[in-house]
Amino acid sequence: MTRDRKILALLAVLALVSLSCTALSRLFRAAPESGTLPGAEAPATVAPESILPVSTEVRRLELAPSPTPFHVTGPDDVRSILDLGRPDGTDYFDVPDNWYDYDTPGYAAYRVEDSHLFGIDYNPSDRPIYWSYTNVSSGNTYAEITATNGDCVGHDAVALVIRVDPEETPSGYSLEVACAGEFRFRSLRSKKLAADLIDWTASDVILTGKDAANRLGIWGYQGHFVVFINGTQVGEYIDRDYDDTYGYFAAYLQAAQTFDLTATFDDFAFWHIPFIP
């Protein structure tokens, strides 16, 4: 074999070896981390700005509001004869017509909006009580309402009233809770002068200041009254001169220092007290 033929044969062998190595490399090579596998359709290209963000908002089933989270403290609690989980009446302020609304410039205004009773007392130097009352009533009863302060100070107060006579203003019995952390229990009977049955009394169960929300409760059985704030009994009074046990409910705020004082009320509930032998 001539020298030229030997060179050609060697080149042919080298070419055959190179082709074999290339085939084996393709056979055993791992799938690429990106790109398209052989025989697969290329994915559509998506611009980064068109990719929708993943929502992190948690969605939950909306439950019916509970008018009272409180439990009786023991057998001596006057509410122990009531089923606090099942009121005889509730109002979450979803129906505006259930409460009396008005706006009298210079005096007061009340309206139901956004599932709250909204009130404003325009003038702290005008001392009469202006309120909004319900279209439901009860006899011997226990009632609660949540009252949330506006931008208040001192004795700027929110209140719950039971035994309201719609033909007489003011009337009934009220529990007032002041911005600075005091409460008082009042008789508002119009035939007699309004009287502080329990004068202003400090209590550490009262949440104070702007935007504080307190749960006000009044137990009234004949002439026996017990008042609660945030589920805790804070006072008791026996009125031997009580006139009647029947009446409507009302809520009000009364400014002592603040002009255009505001407050809101929510989650009203009441229970009929059964006969106590």
The predicted structure's pLDDT at residue 6: 52
Q: Is residue 96 part of a domain?
A: yes
The predicted structure's pLDDT at residue 57: 75
For residue 180, give the CATH number of its domain: 2.60.120.560
Domain containing 263 equals 81-272
SS in 3 state form for the chain? CCHHHHHHHHHHHHHHHHHHHHHHHHHHCCCCCCCCCCCCCCCCCCCHHHCCCCCCCCCCCCCCCCCCCCCCCCCCCHHHHCCCCCCCEEECCCCHHHECCEEECCCEEEEEECCEEEEEECCCCCCCCCEEEEEEEECCEEEEEEEEECCCCCCCEEEEEEEECCCCCCCCEEEEEECCCEEEEEECCCCCCCEEEEEEEECCCCCCCCCCEEEEEEEEECCEEEEEECCEEEEEEECCCCCCCCEEEEEEEECCCCCCEEEEEEEEEEEECCCCC
Q: Is residue 27 part of a domain?
A: no
Better-predicted residue by pLDDT, 244 or 28: 244
In tens, the pLDDT along 40-85 reads 444 555 555 555 555 567 776 666 666 666 788 888 999 999 999 8
In tens, the pLDDT along 166-205 reads 888 789 999 999 999 999 999 997 655 678 999 999 999 9
Q: Is residue 168 part of a domain?
A: yes
Q: Is residue 50 part of a domain?
A: no
Please tell me the total count of domains within the chain: 1
Q: Is residue 162 part of a domain?
A: yes
Q: Is residue 243 part of a domain?
A: yes
